[in-house]
Amino acid sequence: MKILTTVKRVTDPDMKVRIQPDQSGIVTEGVEYKMNSFDEYGVEEAITLKEAHGGEVVVVSIGPGAATKELRTAMAMGADRAILVETDADLDSDAVARVLAEVVGREEPDVIIMGKQAVDSDRSQTPQILGSYLNWPQATFAYKVEIEDGWAVVGREVDGGTATKRIKLPGIISADLRLNEPRYASLPGIMKAKRKPLETLTPDDLGVDIAPKVKVLNYEAPEERGAGEMVDDVDDLINRLKDEARVI
């Protein structure tokens, strides 16, 4: 089985993100980057499936040259080879999906496993858009994946509970955070990853026009959160949640 998985290089979510004074973007100096945590679940699941069913895990990233670090990390965890589609541009979800569709056309995987969203932009769009471009079935927000006889049975997290969906492969699965516990890249794994193949392409090589369809007007920091309030007792809390917050 050939499994394709994706990783995005994102700003470290533990860091304080600052907006440029002209609101054109975020301050990138001194910012740490890491692998999108939802993609870590995707990579882990891809490797687990390979261990169970055999085959190959190909990991893809679209981003700057420095994203080789995230690709190497995925290979150190156990992915077999990597493809970097190199660009310094900030792509919208549609452009990402079109780039991936081309990669999929070349690689012809049996299944695609990707994070449900990136923790920097939090859009949660790419798996779904990719599904429509490829005309493949999709099972999003997976907390459990089983593959059998060319079908994937996927436990999904949905509003108010869980649902199970069976999709015919090839198909797309997007990973939620309860799917697994991503393994550590072991030091021997990291050394081995240096010798695994990493192919670098550009959007041009794939014939994709990455000009954005979504126009970003400006960036604004969210309002500072006000101080919390101590309530007297549980009844008070329930009443306030009911009457003021109207969440129950």
Partner 1 sequence: MSEYLIDRRDMDFTLFDYLGLEDLLELPRYQGYDRETFEIVMAQAQRFAAEKLAPTNEEADHQGCRLEDGKVYLPDSYGDLYKEFCEIGLFAPVHSPEHGGMGLPQALGMALAEMMLTAHPSFMFLPGLTVSAAHLIEAFGTDRDIELYLERMYTGQWTGTMCLTEPQAGSALGELTTTAKEVEGEDYYQIAGNKIFISAGDHQLTENIIHLVLARAEGDAEGIRGVSLFIVPKNRVDADGKVTGPNDVTITGIEEKMGIHASPTCAISFGDNGECQGWLVGERGRGINYMFQMMNEARLVTGLQGVAIGNSAYQAALAYAQERKQGPKVTDRSGEQTSVAIIEHPDVRRNLMTMKAYGEAIRAMLYNSAYLSDHALHNEDEAAKTKAQDMLDLLTPICKAFASDVGFKMTELAMQVLGGYGYIKEYGIEQQMRDVKIASIYEGTNGIQALDLLGRKMRQKGGALFMTWMQDTNEFLIPLAEDEFFGDMAKEVDKGKNVLGEAAFLFQSTGKKDPEYPLLHATPFLRMFGLVESARLLLEQAALARTKLQAIWEEHGVESDDQEARDELSERNDEVLYYENKIKTASFFIYQLLPEARAMLKSIQSEDRSALDIKF
Determine if 196 is a binding residue for partner 1 (CB under 8 A). no
Determine if 231 is a binding residue for partner 1 (CB under 8 A). no
Residue with Cβ nearer partner 1 (160 or 188): 188
Determine if 21 is a binding residue for partner 1 (CB under 8 A). yes
Determine if 185 is a binding residue for partner 1 (CB under 8 A). yes
Token output for 30? 């001194």
Determine if 180 is a binding residue for partner 1 (CB under 8 A). no
Q: Considering only CA atoms, which of 199, 10, 27, 194 is closest in space to residue 96?
A: 10
Residue with Cβ nearer partner 1 (27 or 241): 27
Report the SS3 class of residue 28: coil
| Among 68, 93, 138, 180, contact with partner 1 (rule: CB under 8 A) | 68
Residue 152 · residue 171 · CB < 8 Å:
yes
CA distance 129 to 95: 10
Instruction: Say which amino acid occupies 122.
Output: D
| Among 30, 160, 207, 226, contact with partner 1 (rule: CB under 8 A) | 30
Residue with Cβ nearer partner 1 (72 or 165): 72
DSSP code string of 94-163: HHHHHHHHHHHHHH--SEEEEESS-TTT----HHHHHHHHHT--EEEEEEEEEEETTEEEEEEEETTEEE
| Piece in contact with partner 1 (CB under 8 A), picked from 26-34, 87-95, 124-132, 164-172 | 26-34
| Piece in contact with partner 1 (CB under 8 A), picked from 92-100, 101-109, 171-179, 188-196 | 188-196
